[in-house]
Amino acid sequence: MDTNSNNNENYLSDWLADKLTDQQLRAIVGESEFVAYERLKNSIGRLQVEDPDLARNYAAIKQKRIDKFKPEVRPTMSLYHYAAIAATLLLFFGMFQFFVFSNHVETAVGKPMLLAMSDGSKVRVNANSRLEYPSLFKYNRKVCLEGEAFFEVEKGGSFKVETSIGTVEVLGTKFNVFARGSYFEVVCYEGRVKVVLNDKSEILENGQAIRLYKGNKETWIEDDVQPHWLSGESSFLHAPLGQVLAQLESQFGHQVQYPKSLEHIRFTGSFTHSDLDISLKTICIPLNLKYQIAEGKIIISE
């Protein structure tokens, strides 16, 4: 247990033993935490601790023929000591839910979302993505991402983005993370980020990017100051066509069917989020592909 936990237990023990007044405890831990302690005290007040049966203990000692010794009454743990421990445990389990990923947002197809975090950081979550974060985010700056998001992190303690593929850690910067399936991509737009993949870490400086696709790592230099999807356009640099079409699905909600042989073809370019037909043209024409839209599905062929 760390120093803060020990201090909290001491404060609780002294307060429950009337060695600290309500006003003194409130000044030490703050109003919101004092209210939680007060609720715990009211609950603990209903606990009962049975008094030791000294007569029965003494009789047992006599039966063991040690009458020549005075019966030793060991100090028993006081009710308030029990209460302090119980209060600490209850407080721990009560606060635990605030430090785990207890909140989440899911964006709909074609509907990005801006989140203002309690530490002052901003997170722009792209369409068809999921982000989880703790209630007490200011004290535990960690999120779990599936999909894509752009982060503007306020300076402070460690800020982590966890995905199923890798982890990104920063102190204060602007960066974009995409993680879905076996595809993972990080672009640093300002400051520095640490990317951890397969237990190996790599530092990205301003303008550097990294991609993990089918177990292969790729890096490049990014000239833009922010991702294009923030202004209604998805852009790609030598990206697998399968990922391009997956993002098309996220923006327009149409299922895309295409031959598996096309999945790994690389595409450099962009598509708008405002017009499906124009977007399909900008993807298919440079690659000499055909497309048709039928019954809500997009069928792409060579």
pLDDT score, position 254: 93
Name residues whose C-beta falls within 8 Å of residue 237's C-beta, 6 or more positions apart in sequence: 220, 222, 268
φ/ψ of 245, rounded to 5, equals: -70, -30
* 160 touches 143 (CB < 8 A): yes
Other CB atoms closer than 10 Å to residue 164's CB: what's the count?
12
Query: Is beta strand 183-190 parallel, antiparallel or unpaired with respect to 174-180?
Result: antiparallel
* 206 touches 185 (CB < 8 A): no
Q: By mean pLDDT, which of 24-28, 112-116, 208-212 is the weakest?
A: 24-28
Q: Looking at per-residue confidence, does 26 or 189 come out higher?
A: 189
- Write the pLDDT tens digit of every residue in 31-85: 766 766 666 666 544 444 344 454 555 455 455 544 444 445 455 555 555 555 6
Rounded CA separation 197/250 (Å): 25
Name residues whose C-beta falls within 8 Å of residue 272's C-beta, 6 or more positions apart in sequence: 232, 233, 278, 279, 282
Res. 10 pLDDT band, cuts 50 70 90: low
- Write the pLDDT tens digit of every residue in 144-183: 999 999 999 998 888 999 999 999 999 789 999 999 988 9
**Half-sphere exposure (CA, 13 Å, Cβ side) for 20?**
20
Query: Is beta strand 255-257 parallel, antiparallel or unpaired with respect to 297-301?
Result: parallel
Q: Looking at per-residue confidence, does 271 or 65 come out higher?
A: 271
Other CB atoms closer than 10 Å to residue 257's CB: what's the count?
12
pLDDT score, position 85: 60
pLDDT at 268 over 50: yes
Query: Of 132-136, 139-143, 226-230, 295-299, which one has max mean pLDDT?
Result: 226-230
pLDDT score, position 42: 61
- Write the pLDDT tens digit of every residue in 229-242: 999 999 999 999 99
Mean pLDDT (the chain) is 81
Q: By mean pLDDT, which of 67-81, 105-119, 287-301 is the weakest?
A: 67-81
pLDDT at 261 over 60: yes
Summarize the confidence of residues 198-214 as an average pLDDT.
93
pLDDT score, position 56: 55
Rounded CA separation 278/195 (Å): 35
Task: Give the three-state DSSP class for 6.
Answer: helix
- Write the pLDDT tens digit of every residue in 39-52: 666 654 444 434 44
154: tokens are 């306020």
pLDDT score, position 259: 95
Res. 93 pLDDT band, cuts 50 70 90: very low
Backbone φ/ψ region at 18: left (φ over 0), alpha (ψ -120 to 50), beta: left
pLDDT score, position 21: 82
Of the candidates 81, 158, 124, 71, the one whose C-alpha atom is nearest the C-alpha of residue 231 is 124
pLDDT score, position 24: 80
Percent of the chain with pLDDT strictly greater than 90: 57
pLDDT score, position 115: 95
Rounded CA separation 270/143 (Å): 28
pLDDT score, position 157: 86
Domains and CATH numbers, the chain: 3-99 (no CATH), 105-228 (2.60.120.1440), 232-301 (3.55.50.30)
Of the candidates 162, 195, 201, 191, the one whose C-alpha atom is nearest the C-alpha of residue 179 is 162
Rounded CA separation 145/243 (Å): 17
Rounded CA separation 207/42 (Å): 56
